[in-house]
Amino acid sequence: MSRPAHTPEPEASTPTATRPEGASDSARPARGGVTLAVVLLGFLILPMGMSGTTVAVPRIGADLGASGSALQWVVTGYFLAASSFMLVAGSMGDLFGRRRVYRLGAIVYTAGSVAAAFAPTILLLDAARTLTGIGAAGVMAGGGAILATTFTGPARMKAFAAMGSTSGVGLAIGPTAAGWLVDGLGWRATFGVFGAVGLLLIAGTWALTESRAAAKPRVDKPGVAAFITGLALVMFAITQGAQAGWGSARVLVPGAGGLVVLAVFVVVERRSDHPMLNLSLLADRRFSGWLLAAMTAGVGFGGMLANLPTYLQGANGLSTGEAGLVMLMATVPVLVLPQLGGRLVDRGLPPRVLVTAALLMSATGNAWLTVLHPGIGAAGLLGPLVMIGSAQGLVAGVIDAQAMNSITPERAGMAAGMLNTVRGSTQALTMALFGSALITLLEHRLGNVHTAGRVATGDLPGGPAGTHLANALTDAWQVVLLVIAALVTLAAAAVFTLLRPRGKQPATTAGMSTPQAPAGTEARLARTSAAATPLDASRA
């Protein structure tokens, strides 16, 4: 869920006469407050569903007898589904109605949350979380488009700013709020609360005004099917690799199959008149640079966010609530620093320099986090976590705005869609690879893949055996963190090179400003850029 990469003007295809209540445009301002409240509620709870669930993983594993990749899917499955279905949900909103898609997304989200609260096995919980992610995609894509078609001018800017701030709050407080719930009522209560809020979202949709695109959009069905299928197969292979063996048929078959399907996706997109992702955008060097910057920022932040709570509870013996409080060190900067990044660019700092410096901060923070050891206190984690979170916060929004500045206005909607889809997919893959790498390293150290899976997800016994396993987990963490630091450093150098100036640049103000898009693209921008992924929560 990101800040709008573009501040839209009134849309040429603003709500058509599809309002069952017969409301007119003149009635919309009076209902704007209710509309904003309903949408903001969704953008508060959805990022909590990602960041908050991470602290519950050890308790879930203990209760359901799960570990390893199956347990990690509780987090990665939600995130992958939300990221993969975002563009699909947005297109469906344009075609069938944005309120309808928002309502359907809320229904699916609620059903998935309730199913998760009562899931008797890890497989059913994983399925429920994937369903919840699909519903979240509908709420996010529909919500962003609803704001774009309800508000105009300065009111629209304020609405998107409120949306981004609310999302940032959800991301920041998610681990702490979920930690208190898990400690007090159990992990099932966390999903129960998400389900209860989902019911409020469903009820609130009756206060929204329906709208859809005036021109009937075309959905790239082959591209959508190939992208989701290919990415899901690759994700499955990654999550199974550590425990099934990277050379096993259980990994090689879906992995190779996924790569083949993704190759087919590239061919389909190149030939499509209305592609899901316009790959010709990659020919623009500067846009490719901003795309790489967005992906790199997610790599430096996502793996830590998804996996550190399990270490804190398993190796350090913190309660779920205590682990959630520690995570505030990383999440609060993501909420409070995006505006600072914009101001620095406004005052003359080249965006290229700011983003490269922030990525190097992220790399340094990950390397610094290798100070992890059993028994480390909050003071020892303060520096690296604040640095990682600050790096993410400083580039939040600047990357989006500058990416939109780098392409022509008529391609802004497709560019925003590519930026957020690729960024979200990268974050999901990072989370999965981080967990699989931990299990692989632990198996090499411990000689037992099942024990490695339990340890990686925070299931450690007490006594001398627990101390030995905690040290092994720490060693694995340190290796993974150093690899991430190295990758982010190399990527930062590539970003700096790709973003070198090209001739005379048009004057732009504010790292947050973008060129004006032509009429008809605003709702698409809203659903693809303002409603991105849970880790991009504070970009407004």
Structure tokens given for 467: 């101390």
Return the pLDDT at 71: 84
Residue 273 identity? D
Residue keyed to tokens 């976590």: 385
Distance in angstroms (rounded) separating the CA atoms of residues 332 and 340: 14
Residue keyed to tokens 């947005």: 90
pLDDT per 10-residue tile (average), the chain, 540 residues: 41 39 39 84 87 88 82 86 82 83 94 96 94 91 82 76 77 86 91 94 88 72 86 85 81 92 90 80 88 92 88 89 91 85 86 94 96 91 95 84 74 70 84 89 87 84 81 94 97 94 52 43 47 47
Within 186-337, residue ranges assigned H as helices are 187-204, 221-244, 249-271, 285-314, 320-336
CB neighbour class for 264 (10 Å; exposed up to 12, middle 13-18, buried from 19)? middle
Distance in angstroms (rounded) separating the CA atoms of residues 234 and 283: 26
Distance in angstroms (rounded) separating the CA atoms of residues 2 and 420: 8
Distance in angstroms (rounded) separating the CA atoms of residues 354 and 399: 10
- Tell me how far CA of residue 257 lies from CA of 92, 234, 246, 379, in angstroms: 28, 8, 15, 46
Residue keyed to tokens 């430096």: 300
- Tell me how far CA of residue 534 lies from CA of 45, 75, 425, in angstroms: 10, 11, 12
Distance in angstroms (rounded) separating the CA atoms of residues 297 and 357: 11
Residue keyed to tokens 């016994």: 461
Return the pLDDT at 156: 74
Contact present, 46 and 95 (Cβ < 8 Å): no
Residue keyed to tokens 């705005």: 401
Provide CB contacts within 8 A for 63, sequence distance 6+.
Answer: 187
Provide CB contacts within 8 A for 433, sequence distance 6+.
Answer: 238, 303
The backbone torsions φ and ψ at residue 246, rounded to the nearest 5 degrees and listed phi first, read: -65, -20
pTM: 0.79
Return the pLDDT at 411: 67
- Taking the mean position of all CA atoms in its chain, how far away is CA 513? 23
Element (H, E) at 142: helix 122-150
- Tell me how far CA of residue 139 lies from CA of 255, 537, 538, in angstroms: 31, 14, 17
Distance in angstroms (rounded) separating the CA atoms of residues 86 and 524: 11
Distance in angstroms (rounded) separating the CA atoms of residues 539 and 364: 23
Q: 223: left (phi > 0), else alpha (psi -120 to 50), else beta? A: alpha
- Tell me how far CA of residue 64 lies from CA of 59, 71, 187, in angstroms: 9, 9, 11
Distance in angstroms (rounded) separating the CA atoms of residues 353 and 376: 34
Residue keyed to tokens 């970003």: 495
Return the pLDDT at 31: 67
Contact present, 57 and 309 (Cβ < 8 Å): yes
114-128 pLDDT, tens per residue? 999 999 999 999 999
Structure tokens given for 285: 């060097």
Contact present, 198 and 48 (Cβ < 8 Å): no
Distance in angstroms (rounded) separating the CA atoms of residues 436 and 426: 15
Number of other residues whose CB lies within 10 A of the CB of residue 199: 14
433-445 pLDDT, tens per residue? 898 899 999 988 8
- Closest-CA residue to 42 (of 83, 1, 100): 1
Distance in angstroms (rounded) separating the CA atoms of residues 531 and 148: 11
Distance in angstroms (rounded) separating the CA atoms of residues 392 and 380: 20
Element (H, E) at 47: helix 28-51
Instruction: Name all domains of the chain by residue range, CATH numbers in brackets.
Output: 1-218 (1.20.1250.20), 280-410+444-500 (1.20.1250)
- Tell me how far CA of residue 204 lies from CA of 11, 86, 199, in angstroms: 24, 21, 9
Return the pLDDT at 317: 86
Secondary structure (3-state) at 22: coil
Distance in angstroms (rounded) separating the CA atoms of residues 74 and 53: 8
